[in-house]
Structure 1
Amino acid sequence: MDPQLQHSVAESVATVVISHPEKRNAMTAAMWRALPPLLGELADDPAVRVLVLTGEGGTFCAGADISTLRGSPQEAQGLAVRAEEALAAFPKPTLAAIGGHCVGGGAQLAAACDLRFAEEGALFGVTPAKLGIVYPSSSTRRLVSLVGPATAKYLLFSGELIDAERALRTGLVDEVLPAGGLGKRVAEFARVLVSRSQLTQAAAKEFADGRTDRDAHWAAQARASGDTAEGVAAFLERRQPRFGWSVPTSG
């Protein structure tokens, strides 16, 4: 099977699977190109409330397919950055489900997700120093925001791999699951996210990502949506809320 990005939507959760198992799911140029339009399609799908990014066959992504770097490393890096930025800009919650290797471009993609759950035995690395590549400034800032400058420098200067437990301690991942438990926990947590207010999630995502000019916008959205009244009523009536606000489509 050719390297590809597979996707499915079930119970309001879109799952995107990086599929290139013979190279530990390394991303080819074609795969980098395919990710932004796929994300745009899923963002505009009203049935999608949460996105999960994972890899086929027990490993997440071992980075960029090095054979694609021979022609133009700068072009390949540009493709990776555009894919990373498209993932970071996805307007609904995103969760990386990580097993095996999460290295190089794989770490870029994982860092661009809102949350990262990993399985015991997963390995993480940011490896441009092994190839003489200047890591993009936007990717560096995103990494620093997750793990702090000291750990970011450790990863970038050395290119060394760290295990899931250290990734958890440094803030690179949010949960570490026992072997065999990743899929169940991710599905469980995705259902939690689906049940919550998209209004709250969308506003929180913007604020957490540094937007400082949208307070009035989100206050107006909250007033118009009726979600707060519904949430309070549902709490008092001891029932699940039926939130009405949804992320607008780009069309």
Structure 2
Amino acid sequence: MTEQLISLSIEDGCAELRIERPHKRNALTRAMWGELHAALGAVARSSAHLLVLRGSGGVFSAGADIEEMGAFLADPVQLAASNALVRDTQLALERLSCMTLAVVEGACVGGGCGLALACDFRLATENARFAITPARLGLLYSAEDVRRVVGLVGAARARQLLLTAQPVDAATALGWGMLTEVCDAAGLDERIAAWRALAAEVSPNSVAGIKRSIGMLGGAEPADFQALAELFEAAFVHPDFREGARAFLEKRAPRFHQP
């Protein structure tokens, strides 16, 4: 029986995608990246307004599976294919039309950190630790990964993270702009519930359009200003605007997620 290493559940407008390999500190194999990519496709086709991404066993992810990486050294074709899959999976996560929240406990290293940084928001517990370590292996972080790091923490902090490969704790990561929020472990479920409620309050059409604008202007995809102008104009005739405007005039909360 094949071990399930990636799980996906979608319920009440919230998708939860979990890395399920705690005995290996949720180290990611090529097969797991493939499962993540397929799961993100399922989320994209769903009506979820929030994706929560997390690891099992109190660890987010220790990054690449080192044993598998060793096997790839003898097969450049497989190594290139694996790198392409990682890139495509992180881009698929970054380009999801719904809100995305990485919930980080414990270690968040290398490719695992890349996953967290591809999310819109990052909620971490106080014991979270972040490290980007390709320099220790004689490798580079991909251009897409570097873009995300620089976009969050700026060039100076990116140099510190990437060139020294030194870990930073949750408090430091919050101060640098890598994290959206830090909480104690006992309050984690409560904070996730608050994010679920927040995502349910806003227009899915607005979220999708705003994320596409940010993605284009931030380099996640080629900038198409005509497309962005059309998205802006189309919002004024979208049902979400009618509901939002009606709710504002009637002094009530909008109901965007009606079946």
The TM-score, its normalising length taken from structure 1, stands at 0.91
The superposition leaves residues 211-241 of structure 1 with CA deviations (integer Å, 9 ceiling, x where unpaired) of 4513322133212213223212212323221
SS at 1:238 equivalent: coil
In structure 2, how many angstroms separate the alpha carbons of the residues matched to 1:81 and 1:101? Answer: 21
Query: Displacement of 1:12 after TM fit?
Result: 0.4
In structure 2, how many angstroms separate the alpha carbons of the residues matched to 1:179 and 1:161? Answer: 20
The superposition leaves residues 30-51 of structure 1 with CA deviations (integer Å, 9 ceiling, x where unpaired) of 10111112111111112x1111
- Asked if the contact 1:227/1:244 (under 8 Å) is kept, the reply is no
In structure 2, how many angstroms separate the alpha carbons of the residues matched to 1:181 and 1:132? Answer: 39
- Asked if the contact 1:112/1:142 (under 8 Å) is kept, the reply is yes
Count residues in correspondence. 245
Query: What amino acid is the match of 1:66?
Result: I
Structure 1 unaligned segments of length 5 or more: list them.
247-251
Query: What amino acid is the match of 1:221?
Result: A
- Asked if the contact 1:225/1:245 (under 8 Å) is kept, the reply is no
SS at 1:189 equivalent: helix
Query: Displacement of 1:244 after TM fit?
Result: 6.8
In structure 2, how many angstroms separate the alpha carbons of the residues matched to 1:245 and 1:183? Answer: 25
Query: Displacement of 1:185 after TM fit?
Result: 0.2
Which residue is equivalent to 1:62?
Answer: 62
Which residue is equivalent to 2:124?
Answer: 118
Deviates more, 1:182-191 or 1:58-67: 182-191
The superposition leaves residues 94-121 of structure 1 with CA deviations (integer Å, 9 ceiling, x where unpaired) of 1101111111111000010011010101
Structure 2 unaligned segments of length 5 or more: list them.
74-78, 218-222
In structure 1, how many angstroms separate the alpha carbons of the residues matched to 2:112 and 2:4? Answer: 15
In structure 2, how many angstroms separate the alpha carbons of the residues matched to 1:14 and 1:157? Answer: 35
- Asked if the contact 1:3/1:28 (under 8 Å) is kept, the reply is no
Residue 235 of structure 1, aligned match among 221, 240, 248: 248
Query: What amino acid is the match of 1:52?
Result: V
Q: After the TM superposition, which residues 35-50 of structure 1 pair with which residues of structure 2 at under 5 Å, given as runs?
A: 35-46=36-47, 48-50=48-50
Which residue is equivalent to 1:223?
Answer: 236
Aligned-residue Cα RMSD (Å) equals 1.9
Query: Displacement of 1:138 after TM fit?
Result: 1.2
Which residue is equivalent to 1:170?
Answer: 176
